[in-house]
Chains A and B, each alone.
Chain A
Amino acid sequence: SQKIEQNSEALNIQEGKTATLTCNYTNYSPAYLQWYRQDPGRGPVFLLLIRENEKEKRKERLKVTFDTTLKQSLFHITASQPADSATYLCALEGSSNTGKLIFGQGTTLQVKP
């Protein structure tokens, strides 16, 4: 069956370090993958979208990689700050061209000053 897995355990890092979050998927062949940030009590906020033909995408301190062979996406936050503390969700299309977006359970990141 189709499955998206993100680290269920919270990731705790020191301010200034690089945070790396993982999103693995099985039995999917997504055309793209998205990353969102969610703060408690709020709706998710879109961060980055990467397509299957893109290996890497950057936006300010954020970097996303997409390895369709490993069926994995890595999300990096460089020079992390306490304000980066949140839950990060990856999402991909459930079946090609259906527009049905499936989300992972999310990984909670805690950046300590």
Chain B
Amino acid sequence: KAGVTQTPRYLIKTRGQQVTLSCSPISGHRSVSWYQQTPGQGLQFLFEYFSETQRNKGNFPGRFSGRQFSNSRSEMNVSTLELGDSALYLCASSFELVRNEQFFGPGTRLTVL
């Protein structure tokens, strides 16, 4: 079974731009969660999608948004990028709810200049 894939793996943007990251969950998984990981803040929950609906949202500004498609693939978008948005963005999938084990992708390393 293929694991969680994320594209692109690396991205460099400048302040003010927007970015879209993509995540393909493990086949059959319906829950996709997104996390931001930085050295200072650690791994922080962004949002979770289940069957195309956002179930939970972390404490991030409205510039961070996401969506999930009918095939469970998910995208997250960050608009008006700031320097502080530089981070590793991780996507994780699980069969049902996050209280089951989550399978993480390799992440997208975003650098904002």
**Which chain A residues have a beta carbon within 8 Å of chain B's beta carbons?**
31-32, 34, 36, 41-46, 49, 89, 91, 93-94, 98-106
**Is A99 touching B42 in the complex (CB atoms < 8 A)?**
no
**Is B55 touching A99 in the complex (CB atoms < 8 A)?**
yes
SS of B interface (majority):
strand
**Is A99 touching B106 in the complex (CB atoms < 8 A)?**
no
Name the CB-closest residue of B to A106. Answer: B42
**Is A43 touching B42 in the complex (CB atoms < 8 A)?**
no
**Is B56 touching A43 in the complex (CB atoms < 8 A)?**
no
Q: Which of B50, B58, B92, B101 contacts A100 (CB 8 A)?
A: B58
| Contacts across chains A and B counted by CB atoms under 8 Å | 60
B78 within 8 A of A: no
Which has the most chain B C-beta neighbours within 10 Å: A31, A91, A101, A102?
Answer: A101
A44-B42 contact, Cβ under 8 Å, with A32-B99, A93-B98, A98-B56: no
**Is A103 touching B97 in the complex (CB atoms < 8 A)?**
no
When distances are taken between beta carbons in the complex, the residues of chain B under 8 Å from A105 are: 42
21 interchain pairs, CB-CB under 8 A: A34-B101, A34-B102, A41-B106, A42-B106, A42-B107, A43-B4, A43-B92, A43-B105, A43-B107, A44-B43, A44-B90, A44-B104, A46-B102, A46-B103, A99-B50, A99-B55, A99-B99, A100-B48, A100-B58, A101-B98, A104-B42
When distances are taken between beta carbons in the complex, the residues of chain B under 8 Å from A41 are: 106
A5 smallest CB distance to B (angstroms): 11
